[in-house]
Every structure is written in structure tokens, then in C-alpha cells.
A = this chain, B = another copy of it.
């Protein structure tokens, strides 16, 4: 793919669905994705993949089995591989994700929110 400049806000304007990560870049086998979140996702983990969340707008809770953290705009968290987590956004949150190209957003869990083939925007 020909490299091009990416304006995050412009990319966020291109979609409105929740919980459907859109790919905006790829490097070193990793992908950069944007997602809009609202409501509760689904408990899952990624066995072999660490996953980074960076909040671009709004606020996000990530529930773990032993704690809950809250991320506000400009805050990030790396969920280590194998750690079960469940993102929850009371209001719509815009996030940037960084994870291996192979990562499925619901891990091995099959859910109505699962998206098999994530889309480039």
C-alpha cells in the first residue's frame, strides 16, 4: 500500500457503527485501527496478542476479572495477551487500537458483535 497521511478525525467521520474496528494503517505486521464504542462489548482475551487502546475522544472503562480501569481522552493501556477483558463505554468513545494484523476483536469468542473481516478505510 502506498503510504499516505492519515487524519484521525477525518477517518472517524467515515463510519458510525459501534464495535467495528476499521483499519487505517499497517506496519511491521501490526495494524492501527479506529473504533467507535458505545455500550458493553463482550468478555474475551487474545491468547497470543497484546492489544493497545488509546482514547481519542470520550471515556472508556475496561473491566478485568480483578479490577476495572477508566481511560479518558489521551490515555492508553496495553492489555497483555491472555488477559480477559471487557470494554464498556457509557457514552460513545472513539479509540485507536494497535495490535497484530491477526487479532480478532472478540478473540476466540463468537458473538453477534464479532466482525470476521475488518475493513480498511
**Chain A residues proximal to chain B, CB less than 8 Å:** 3-9, 24-28, 30, 32, 49-52, 54, 69, 71, 74-80, 98-100
| Nearest 10 pairs of A and B residues by beta carbon | A27-B50, A8-B74, A6-B76, A27-B78, A7-B75, A25-B78, A28-B50, A5-B77, A3-B78, A27-B52
Chain A facing B: main interface SS: strand
CB distance from A121 to the nearest CB of B (A): 14
Q: Check A51–B27 contact: CB distance below 8 A.
A: yes
Given contacts A3-B80, A25-B52, A51-B27, contact A75 B32 (CB under 8 A): no
Q: Check A99–B28 contact: CB distance below 8 A.
A: yes
Q: Check B6–A77 contact: CB distance below 8 A.
A: yes
Q: Cα distance A68–B47 when bound, in Å? A: 41
